[in-house]
Amino acid sequence: MNLRGLTFDDVILVPGYNGIRSRQNVTTSVEVNSRTFEIPLISANMDTVTGLEMANLMSELGGMGILHRFCTVEDNVAMFKAANKKDKVGVSIGIGEKGVERAEALVAVGAQIICVDVAHGHSKEVNRTIRSLREKYSDNVLIIAGNVATYAGADYLAAAGADIIKVGIGSGSACTTRIKTGFGVPQLTAIQDCRKVDRTLISDGGIRFPADAVKALAAGADMVMLGGVLAGTLETPGEVIERDGTDGRKVQVKKFRGMASKEAQDAFMGGMSDWKTAEGVSMEVPVSGSAKDVVRDIMGGIRSGLTYCGALTIKDLQRKAQFMEITPAARIEGTPHGLSGSVPAKA
- Can you give the residue ranges of every domain in the chain? 25-236+286-326
pLDDT above 70: residue 340: no
The predicted model gives 269-289 an average pLDDT of 85
The predicted structure's pLDDT at residue 342:
57
Q: Is the pLDDT of residue 147 over 80?
A: yes
Examine the residue annotation and report whether 309 is marked as an active-site residue of this protein: no
Average pLDDT, the chain: 93
pLDDT confidence tier of residue 267, bands split at 50, 70 and 90: confident
Position 232 scores a pLDDT of 95
CA within 13 Å, CB half, 65: 32
First to last CA, the chain: 57
Which pLDDT tens digit goes with each residue over 64-99? 999 999 999 999 999 999 999 999 999 999 999 999
Tell me if the domain spanning 25-236+286-326 has CATH number 3.20.20.70.
yes
pLDDT of 339:
61
Lowest-confidence range among 114-118, 141-145, 267-271, 279-283?
A: 267-271
Q: 177: pLDDT confidence band, cut at 50, 70 and 90?
A: very high
- What confidence score (pLDDT) does residue 313 get? 98
Residue 344 has pLDDT above 70, yes or no: no
Which of 71, 115, 175, 309 is labelled catalytic? 175
Q: What is the mean pLDDT of residues 192-210?
A: 97
Highest averaged pLDDT of the listed ranges 30-34, 192-196, 236-240: 192-196
Band (139; pLDDT cuts 50, 70, 90): confident
Choice between 311 and 260, residue whose per-residue pLDDT is larger: 311
Q: Is pLDDT above 70 for 129?
A: yes
Taking 80 as the threshold, does the pLDDT of residue 141 lie above it? yes
> Per-residue pLDDT tens for 35-64?
999 999 999 999 999 999 999 999 999 999
